Amino acid sequence: MPAIDPRTPTSGFENSPNYRKLEKGEEPRRGDVVVQGSGPPSGHAGIVTGQKDGKGRLTAYSNGSHGNKVIPFGKGVGGLANVDPVFYRRQVPRT
């Protein structure tokens, strides 16, 4: 059975065979990956919680070097690159 590499770096989701970018009109859901920025020093990735903060921004479990915590993602969020986030969904390998 094929294996899914669990150690995809922030900059690796775009070209990973284990994830696909969500199409326009697809809504992110709990468990999807969110990436904002393309890599160090400004790239961040997280796992979508399925919830929003008080300002209506999607939240995700950040998996950065500062530890895991729930943070909002979205253009204009302080501490993140000022770009729109990109969402990816894990793909199930087929044999």
Task: Give the per-residue pLDDT at 1.
Answer: 45
Q: Is the pLDDT of residue 34 over 90?
A: yes
The answer to whether the CB of 46 falls within 8 A of the CB of 33 is yes
Question: What tokens were used for 8?
Answer: 């995809």
Rounded Cα distance between 89 and 77, Å, is 22
* Residue 49 contacts residue 71 (beta carbons within 8 Å): no
Residue 45 has pLDDT above 60, yes or no: yes
The pLDDT assigned to 94 comes to: 62
CA distances from 77 to 4, 12, 69, 83 (A): 31, 22, 15, 9
pLDDT the model gives residue 7:
73
Between 91 and 3, residue with greater pLDDT: 91
